[in-house]
Amino acid sequence: MGGPVNTELHSRLRPRLAVEVFLRPAGRPDAPWTPLEGARVRRSEQDPHQVGPDGAVRFTLEPGNYGVSLDTGRLGDNFEVDGSAARQVELGPGERREVRYEVTAWSSIYAVVWNDVDGDRQLPVGYIPFSEVPIRIAGGPERRTDELGVAHFRNLTEGDYTVALDREALPSGVTTTTPTTFEFHLSPGQEKVLNVGLRGFGRLAGLVLLLPPGGGAPVPAPKGIRLLANQRSMGETDPEGRLDLELPAGRLELGLDPRRAGSDLYVVGEDSGLLKLDPGQSVVREFVLARYAGIEVQLTGPVHPLPLSGVPVELQDRPFRYTDETGQVVFDRLKTGIYTVRIAPEHLPPGYPLDGPSRMQVELKSGDRRRILYKLRRL
């Protein structure tokens, strides 16, 4: 027979684990390690625990093997962990163990250079970036802004910094709407963001054409088709499909919004893609629209009534669609091109095979509505 459980002995035999997280600024090897309060530690698949003011999280466990990890995503890119963030520890009865993480804190600077079209110094969500603009740290490195208008300085140490945009390198016709020289102090782990607003414009002369139904030479598109640059409306076509617009200089992602001229219109190709427009530059672009097409697949049988619903029909590599009770499937909003349609013969009514091939090809032109007929025959 079992006796009473000695809870005091059991408590003494339970192992204890302390996970410590300490921080030191980069570039200061003589600086003391300090607790990284608020860092998150996860034990196996358990919910994360936050490090306390003393830099530790403590667990009372049962003997066994445990996985411990430091949540580096919560720390950010400026924090570098010495060694692996995921570790294993084996605990025996009554054992006391410590797992120590040492984290080095770097600092960084993001300089974002954009076209302040409205002159309000507010960086919008769909901002227009200026690329290849030189940004320099006084007494340090120079970076040029990338395609997103960002110059990134990483792995910096704590201290006072002066960062400036090279105004002499700006194209003629560009003005500034914000300060271009910044002085500040960087703390360990800090990510400093600098917003630099410039202002400059170019011109676009464009023509929007429409492919007529059934093919043929394109014709001028209707009035009211809007040109978008970085999701911002810049103007619309005249009755002859022409565009003559002043556009913000910078890296522009062009697009068309044809909905005001018809919900069945789409832009052929890659929507005219990217345009790097320099201040004072004039460019010419041509855009082509087409109308969405459609395919109607019809299954017919030699006798009535014959169950024709639920037969899978495949268009190219798209998911199957199933015929309705009339044996019909409709594919809408298709772009111009050649399509392969396939019906699954193994799902046809028993004793009624196809009277012809199960796979057919059809070419769609602008605005086409094509009908494909599958006939069944009786064995």
Interatomic CA distance for residues 103 and 137, integer angstroms: 26
Q: Do 136 and 214 sit in the same domain of this protein?
A: no
Predicted pLDDT at 178: 95
Q: What is the CATH number of the domain that holds 194?
A: 2.60.40.10
Establish if 366 belongs to a structural domain.
Answer: yes
Predicted pLDDT at 4: 53
Residue type, 89: V
List residues bridging with 204 in a β-sheet.
Answer: 245, 283
Q: What is the largest CA-CA distance in the chain?
A: 100
Q: Do 122 and 208 sit in the same domain of this protein?
A: no
And the tokens for 115? 């076209």
Q: What is the CATH number of the domain that holds 366?
A: 2.60.40.1120
Q: Do 95 and 17 sit in the same domain of this protein?
A: yes
Which of 166, 199, 232 finishes a domain?
199
Three-state DSSP class for residue 100: strand
Which of 149, 179, 199 finishes a domain?
199
Pairing type for strands 86-91 and 175-176 reads: unpaired
Task: Give the CB-side neighbour count of residue 7, counting CA atoms within 13 A.
Answer: 0
Three-state DSSP class for residue 309: coil
Task: Give the CB-side neighbour count of residue 97, counting CA atoms within 13 A.
Answer: 21
Strands (E), 249-309: 250-257, 265-267, 274-277, 282-291, 293-300
Structural domain containing residue 133? 107-199
Predicted pLDDT at 16: 94
Please tell me the total count of domains within the chain: 4
Predicted pLDDT at 1: 45
The DSSP call for residue 223 is T
Interatomic CA distance for residues 109 and 77, integer angstroms: 12
Q: Do 178 and 222 sit in the same domain of this protein?
A: no
Residue type, 87: R
Q: pTM for this one?
A: 0.68
Which of 80, 105, 130 finishes a domain?
105
Helix (H) or strand (E) holding 75: helix 72-75
First vs last C-alpha separation in the chain: 80
Distances (CA, A) of 113 to 127, 168, 378: 9, 15, 72
Q: Do 236 and 324 sit in the same domain of this protein?
A: no
Q: Do 287 and 306 sit in the same domain of this protein?
A: no
List residues bridging with 175 in a β-sheet.
Answer: 199
Predicted pLDDT at 213: 86
Establish if 77 belongs to a structural domain.
Answer: yes
Mean pLDDT per block of 10 residues along the chain (379 residues) reads 50 86 94 94 86 94 93 89 94 94 96 93 88 95 95 96 93 91 96 96 94 88 90 92 94 88 82 80 92 94 81 90 93 94 89 91 94 90
Predicted pLDDT at 370: 95
Establish if 2 belongs to a structural domain.
Answer: no
CB 225 within 8 Å of CB 238: no
Please name which of 209, 233, 214, 222 lies closest in space to residue 262, comparing C-alpha atoms: 222
Q: Do 69 and 96 sit in the same domain of this protein?
A: yes
Interatomic CA distance for residues 359 and 345, integer angstroms: 10
